Amino acid sequence: MKALLKRREFSLFIFILFTVFVISLRAPRFLEWSNLYDILNDTAILIMVAIGQFMVITSGNGGIDLSVASGIALTGMIVGMLNQYHPEIPIGVIILIAMFVGLILGSFNGILVAYAGIPPIITTLGTMSIYRGFVFVLSKGEWVSADEMSNSFRHLPHGTPFGVTNIILFAIIVVVLAYIFTTRTKTGREIYGIGGNRTAAQYVGINIRKISFMVYAISGVIVGLAGLLWVSRYASAQNDTAMGFELQTVAACVIGGVAIMGGSGTVPGVVLGAIFLGIINNALPVVNLSPFYQMAIQGFVIIFAIVANTVVGRKTQASLARKAKV
């Protein structure tokens, strides 16, 4: 219990409950289950992609993947057009193709960062433009609209064969796998190793290049899946799909307590960070705020959440340190 209270995830969880409570004072229907369920559906993609982002950031050395939104748009356009011209391809195969496309995009980042030694922010800023550019090249500026998609394609995110929508199911699978990977596998723990202290990681014989390549590849696979879910959920593949989404994923990580310098962070933290953002995105229209203010307010809330979280974290630490001395 004591250990739980110390955890940063716990303070964030309380903060989320508090935020929800405040919002519900102004808009009681916010608390209705159907609304909360909608929020989860809206946030599922953010949760997934933020988890990929979390692994990249945690691997350290300036790790960041700014190409995730462009990757979503590109995979989305590829599978959208594939479905448009070959509606006979089963959705299961489409899922695999999407993940494979994502893997290629992520691996390209990984090669540039891990093997060519180009700083992650430069690499992924570059591929952010490249991948976005390919969307235009491929689509020639056209959209793939709902009536050009097959039913099975459009229904993929909304189907509920396992009790929850598939999109939430996918998010749960990604979260569970990532949690096991980052807490219970040697390779997963080595991400923290190279992010926490590269020299030390080298000295204990960790293959730094392999691990840093891998995190970008994993982020890519998740991006591929997210690209498919995004265009099928909104039933349109556009050139500006997911524009600006990469910053949301970074924000979710930071709110969730992921150290931007690497080496520290948890899957539950990231999930909570993403859910917090989802709540804010959903709540601002509900409380009747002018849409003109929404973006700015969203920014303020993010900064406030991060500051609050950091201060609480520091205070807990200070009090622990004091106790340790006595």
x/- track of binding to other proteins for residues 72-111 (CB under 8 A): ----------------------------------------
Contact 98, 156 (CB under 8 A): no
Contact 59, 262 (CB under 8 A): yes
The DSSP 8-state label assigned to residue 260 in this structure reads: T
Nearest distance from C-beta of residue 191 to other proteins, angstroms: 11
Contact 271, 14 (CB under 8 A): no
Helices (H) and strands (E) in the chain, counts: 14, 0
The answer to the question of residue 1 lying near other proteins (CB under 8 A) is no
The answer to the question of residue 263 lying near other proteins (CB under 8 A) is yes
**Applying CB under 8 A, which of residues 147, 151, 184, 244 lies at the interface with other proteins?**
184
Give dist(CA 194, CA 63) in Å, integer: 11
Nearest distance from C-beta of residue 209 to other proteins, angstroms: 13
**Applying CB under 8 A, which of residues 129, 183, 310, 319 lies at the interface with other proteins?**
183
The DSSP 8-state label assigned to residue 30 in this structure reads: G
The answer to the question of residue 4 lying near other proteins (CB under 8 A) is no
Structure-block tokens of residue 113 = 């960062």
Of 27-35, 161-169, 198-206, 246-254, the window that binds other proteins (rule: CB under 8 A) is: 198-206
Nearest distance from C-beta of residue 189 to other proteins, angstroms: 6
Give dist(CA 74, CA 139) in Å, integer: 10
Give dist(CA 146, CA 109) in Å, integer: 31
Amino acid at 102: G
Give dist(CA 22, CA 20) in Å, integer: 6
The answer to the question of residue 292 lying near other proteins (CB under 8 A) is no
The DSSP bridge partners found for residue 144 are 237
* Of residues 203-262, those binding other proteins (CB under 8 A): 203-206, 259
Nearest distance from C-beta of residue 192 to other proteins, angstroms: 6
Give dist(CA 160, CA 145) in Å, integer: 23
* Phi and psi at residue 35, to the nearest 5°: -70, -45
The answer to the question of residue 318 lying near other proteins (CB under 8 A) is no
Nearest distance from C-beta of residue 321 to other proteins, angstroms: 7
The answer to the question of residue 2 lying near other proteins (CB under 8 A) is no
**Applying CB under 8 A, which of residues 19, 196, 286, 294 lies at the interface with other proteins?**
196
Nearest distance from C-beta of residue 14 to other proteins, angstroms: 22
141's torsion region: left (phi>0), alpha (psi -120 to 50) or beta?
A: left
The answer to the question of residue 269 lying near other proteins (CB under 8 A) is no
User: Can you point out the beta strands (E) in the chain?
Assistant: none
The answer to the question of residue 61 lying near other proteins (CB under 8 A) is no
The answer to the question of residue 146 lying near other proteins (CB under 8 A) is no
**Applying CB under 8 A, which of residues 25, 29, 186, 296 lies at the interface with other proteins?**
186
290's torsion region: left (phi>0), alpha (psi -120 to 50) or beta?
A: beta
Q: Which is nearer to other proteins, 197 or 282 (CB)?
A: 197
Q: Which residues lie near other proteins (CB under 8 A)?
A: 180, 183-186, 189-190, 192-193, 196-197, 199-206, 259, 263-264, 320-321, 324-325
